[in-house]
């Protein structure tokens, strides 16, 4: 491989820039070059999936396997783990389980997903976001191992975490081992934000006592809930190689596969951490039905120019606002022209998207008090508490609201410490 890389470098020196760029792109997607153009050594980044593949599925030989996955469960060549397992000698892929949006990712947000057969392998696909949210005992009795390989985004409201809990609980009852093939936190593992979920607000979009932006990988989350919820699962986390808490998705060299239809880019994942709260405002569009969901926020009645001017005057770190107009093709205000703002992330590491959301909601409510209307139950479920909504309704300063999270976040940092796998 090293010889190939050296030859490629020498060749590129003789090429026109356009052709050289195409060659670099090919080598990168093929996994022959790292993002910086250096050779991929043993200590360079690998997902849990890539670690298992490099080991030749050795520990899965002779076992009957169930797989919880979606389109993100791929290697850097974009080959699905479904196909890799189906082709692996000595491994018997018995069942596939699909979370929200389905195993192949075709279903819309919140839409029920039906059981099916995988078109590529013929393997039965069981929905975990339809009539059942947990794998059935009937299917689990046929399995030795349940593998979870899904790219989470590090936000409490993302339902894949709730699915993971349900899988672990069902597997523990049926003495089936659970493997989590770990993947990066796309929005960084260092930063945590937002209110801590109160126990009374647990739901499928708030399955455990976490802040909105929690900074845990799926494997770390599994370790934490296995202990704190006393699940008792036989848990194995296949750790990533070359990953640190400071790593962001762009550092991995992995191509981005949308983990759900409305998270088309890693930047969207970052802003989603805060703008998901807009889903809980009846009279505001969060940009669903546009090409920039969660980056476009508005309504037919909103003054986008005035709002952008106000938000930019706050000089919030890592983000700028542009007055914008858009017409959603579905969801809130479908077919209506909306005025609002578009969020532009200027520094991802500096951006505190939950704090941005609080400032945005506060500003809109003050500028248009008669138009702003919460969906109280939905907003509180997303926030994980009713204190945020009540503070906004009382007209409290965003700065005061955000300061109020500090004690809970400090306690969470101590709680999560024993379960961290990466530094």
Domain with residue 251: its CATH number is: 3.40.50.12170
Cα-to-chain-centroid distance, residue 229:
22
* Domain assignment of residue 42, yes or no: no
Domain boundary pick from 385, 400, 417: 385
Distance CA 211, CA 406 (A): 11
Cα distance between residue 114 and residue 269, in whole Å: 27
Pick from 100, 102, 131: nearest CA to 117? 102
Residues 167 and 105 in one domain: yes
Residue 269 · residue 250 · CB < 8 Å: no
Same domain, 74 and 221: yes
Q: How far is CA 199 from CA 202, 209, 210, in A?
A: 6, 7, 10
- 270 and 235, same structural domain? no
Concatenated DSSP letters for 25-91? HHHHHTTSS-TTS----TTS-B-HHHHHHHTTTGGGTT-EEEEEE-TT-B-TT--BHHHHHHHSTT-
Question: Is residue 245 located within the same domain as residue 291?
Answer: no
- Is there a domain that residue 363 lies in? yes
Q: Which two tokens stand for residue 283?
A: 């009279």
Alpha carbon distance 183, 417 (integer Å) = 18
Q: Which domain holds residue 277?
A: 266-385
Task: Tell me the β-bridge partners of 96.
Answer: 67, 125
H-helix or E-strand spanning residue 238: strand 235-238
Instruction: Show pLDDT as tens, one digit a residue, over the chain (423 residues).
Output: 444 444 444 444 444 444 444 443 344 333 344 333 322 334 589 999 999 999 999 999 999 999 999 999 999 999 999 999 999 999 999 999 999 998 977 788 888 889 999 998 999 999 999 989 999 999 999 999 999 999 999 999 999 999 999 999 999 999 999 999 999 999 999 999 999 999 999 999 999 999 999 999 999 999 999 999 999 999 999 999 999 999 999 888 899 999 999 999 999 999 999 999 999 999 999 999 999 999 999 999 999 999 999 999 999 999 999 999 999 999 999 999 999 999 999 999 999 999 999 999 999 999 999 999 999 999 999 999 999 999 999 999 999 999 999 999 999 999 999 999 999
Quote the longest CA-to-CA distance of the chain.
Answer: 68
Could you tell me the two tokens for 419?
A: 């379960």
The total of structural domains in the chain comes to 2
Model pTM above 0.85:
yes
On whether both 212 and 294 belong to a single domain, the answer is no
CA distance 392 to 335: 29
Q: Is residue 411 part of a domain?
A: no
Same-domain check for residues 180 and 292: no
d(CA 33, CA 157): 35
Does 288 share its domain with 345?
Answer: yes
Domain-located, residue 404: no
Residues with Cβ within 8 Å of 309's Cβ and at least 6 positions away in sequence, in order, are none
Look at phi and psi of residue 404 and say left if phi exceeds 0, alpha if psi is from -120 to 50, else beta: alpha
Cβ neighbours, 10 Å, residue 11: 12
Q: Which of the listed residues 232, 260, 288 is the one where a domain comes to its end?
A: 260
Using CA atoms, how far residue 293 sits from 159, 193, 275, 279, in Å, is 18, 21, 9, 11
Residue 220 has φ and ψ, to the nearest 5°, of: -65, -40
35 belongs to a structural domain: no
């Amino acid at each position: 491989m090293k010889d190939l890389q050296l030859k490629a470098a020498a060749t590129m020196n003789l090429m026109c820039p356009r052709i050289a760029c195409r060659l670099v792109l090919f080598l990168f997607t093929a996994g022959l070059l790292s993002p910086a153009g250096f050779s991929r050594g043993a200590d360079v980044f690998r997902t849990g999936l890539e670690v298992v593949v490099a080991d030749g599925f050795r520990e899965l030989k002779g076992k009957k396997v169930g797989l919880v996955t979606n389109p993100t469960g791929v290697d850097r060549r974009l080959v699905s783990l479904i196909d890799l397992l189906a082709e692996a000698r000595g491994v018997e892929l018995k069942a596939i389980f699909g979370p929200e949006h389905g195993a192949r990712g075709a279903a819309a947000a919140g839409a029920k997903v039906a059981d099916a057969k995988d078109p590529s392998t013929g393997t039965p696909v069981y929905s975990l976001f339809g009539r059942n949210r947990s794998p059935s005992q009937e299917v689990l009795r046929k399995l030795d191992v349940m593998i979870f390989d899904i790219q989470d985004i590090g936000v409490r409201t993302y339902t894949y975490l709730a699915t993971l809990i349900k899988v672990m609980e069902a597997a523990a009852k049926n003495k089936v081992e659970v493997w989590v093939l770990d993947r990066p936190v796309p929005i960084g593992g260092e930063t945590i934000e937002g209110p801590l979920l109160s126990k009374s607000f647990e739901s499928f979009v708030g399955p455990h006592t976490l802040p909105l932006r929690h900074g845990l990988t799926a494997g770390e989350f599994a370790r934490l809930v296995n202990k704190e919820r006393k699940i008792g699962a036989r848990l194995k986390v296949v750790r990533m190689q070359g990953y640190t808490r400071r790593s962001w998705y762009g550092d991995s060299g992995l191509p981005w596969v949308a983990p759900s239809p409305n998270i088309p880019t890693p930047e969207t994942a970052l802003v989603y951490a805060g703008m998901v709260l807009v889903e809980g405002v009846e009279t505001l569009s969060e940009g669903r039905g546009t090409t920039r969901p969660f980056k476009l926020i508005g309504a037919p009645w909103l003054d986008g120019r005035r709002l952008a001017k106000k938000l930019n005057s706050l000089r919030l770190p890592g983000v700028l606002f542009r007055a914008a107009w858009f017409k959603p093709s579905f969801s809130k205000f479908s077919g209506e022209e909306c005025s609002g703002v578009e969020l532009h992330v200027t520094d991802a590491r500096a951006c505190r998207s939950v704090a941005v959301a609080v400032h945005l909601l506060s500003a809109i409510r003050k500028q248009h008090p008669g138009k702003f209307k919460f969906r109280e139950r939905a907003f509180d479920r997303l926030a994980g508490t009713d204190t945020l909504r009540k503070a906004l309704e009382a007209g409290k300063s965003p700065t005061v609201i955000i300061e109020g999270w500090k004690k809970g976040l400090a306690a969470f940092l101590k709680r999560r410490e024993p379960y961290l796998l990466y530094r």
